[in-house]
Amino acid sequence: MQSDQQHQGNTLNPRSSFLLVYSARALRGFGDGFATIVLPVYLAKIGFDPAQIGLVAAAALFGTAVLTLAIGFVAPRHDLRRLLIAGAVLMVATGVAFPAFEEIGLLIAVAFFGTVNPSTGDIGVLIPIEHAALAQGTADHDRTRVFARYSLIGALSMAAGALAAAAPQLLTRIGVSELSALRTMFYAYAVLGVVSAAIYYCLPRRNVEHRSAAVPLNVSRGVVYRLAALFSVDAFAGGFVVQSLLAVWLFKRFDMSLAAASLFFFWSGVLSAFSYPLAAMIARRIGLVNTMVFTHVPSSIFLIVAALSPNLTAALAFLLLRSALSQMDVPTRSSYVMAVVTPPERPAAASVTAVPRSLASSLSPALAGVLLGGPFLGAPLVICGALKILYDAALLFSFRHIKPPEEIPA
């Protein structure tokens, strides 16, 4: 009787669980928002060149992939809340460790085992579990809207975090050294991890699927593997312009200041954020796959044009246009994956489709770092745009006939 009461006391309705997940996503997004901009500035300040910065970004993405794969397959047999708390503790350790070292090998190790996400969007150790948690108990017709809200919160918080990246310049005005100000931002990142852990502690112990029912991939294996392969192409392309390296490009190409860059990434994040609910509305009319493709292609064209722009104003204009469209595939992609697999397969499906994205995106930042030291600084942007257009064509050809339940006529 006592154990039943304890179990009931630790049970929340889906709405309350969603609010907790949304809150944690907002905190983590805010931290990633300033960390992705501060990280390359900090690394450059302690003497790293663009190629070395690219290696650190690559290590972060590769480590994310390894941990995501492990979590995706152990989640069905373990307590969700404990996994999320463990991830938050890792976030705390990352914030404390980054300012503690200046050796390239140690910083690569911190990036690999840590949680700093040098990219934007839905790459992260905890995101697959959160995706499965949101899909649980959500009706098919509401699923894309739930994921759009999740992505909206994440993007707005990252935009606010990008704006906060200007804080080191404010600290230097009151006498704090630039290096100490940058290190303070990492300590703030650790504090956000502490608060995230407290939020995760309030979640029910079995929030994704009952452990007895959750299984690795079975009947949906073929579809998931095909999606994972295509998503890896998209992620490999995106790795050429992860936010940290895009900041490096703006610094080198146009001598942009940290404060100006933080303002740009703020508005870029805001545009991306408000594209998410719009993506959900468009998906209701033309379908999830069509929404992914028909918004992605123009954004890739804008990225290529930005790389060829002769001045900062034109480049920023095209990059902002790209931001308004490039992330519309985030909630639709997440919703589509959850829709085309059985409910017990959702944790593994979220992991398997996320891992190749992290692995593939971990390869290209190092290449981009080398290219940023070459004669044509815009090469990473052009390569990214071209590869993404090829990905969109392949996705439309391969999956246009595989419909989620809400798109199948009754």
User: Tens of pLDDT along 238-269?
Assistant: 889 988 789 889 998 999 988 888 889 889 88
Contacts of 286 (CB under 8 A, 6+ apart): 294
**Rg value, the chain, Cα:** 20
Question: Cα separations (Å) of 362 from 49, 120, 233, 365, 368?
Answer: 18, 13, 12, 6, 11
Contacts of 352 (CB under 8 A, 6+ apart): 69, 72, 217, 224, 225, 228
Amino acid at site 267: W
Q: Which amino acid is at 122?
A: D
Identity of residue 364? S
CATH topology of domain 8-404: Growth Hormone; Chain: A; (1.20.1250)
Q: 25: closest CA among 173, 263, 195?
A: 195
**Taking Cα atoms as reference points, which of 270, 266, 271, 274 lies closest to residue 247?**
266
Rounded to whole angstroms, how far apart are CA atoms 167 and 165?
Answer: 5
| pLDDT for position 75 | 62
**Residues in CB range of 275: below 8 A, 6 or more apart:** 295, 323, 324, 325, 327, 328
83 token code pair: 């996994």
Positions of the chain with pLDDT under 50: 1-10, 207-214
The 8-class DSSP code of residue 257 comes to -
Burial of 266 (0-12, 13-18, 19+ CB in 10 A): buried
Q: Is the dihedral of CA 284, 155, 16, 11 positive or negative?
A: positive
| Average of per-residue pLDDT values in the chain | 83
What pLDDT was estimated at residue 3?
39
Q: How far is CA 14 from CA 133, 277, 373, 406, in A?
A: 9, 20, 50, 21
Under a CB-based contact definition with an 8 Å cutoff, are residues 101 and 195 in contact? no
Cα–Cα distances in Å, from 125 out to 75, 130, 286, 308, 343? Answer: 12, 10, 31, 35, 21
- Burial (Cβ within 10 Å: 0-12, 13-18, ≥19) of residue 109: middle
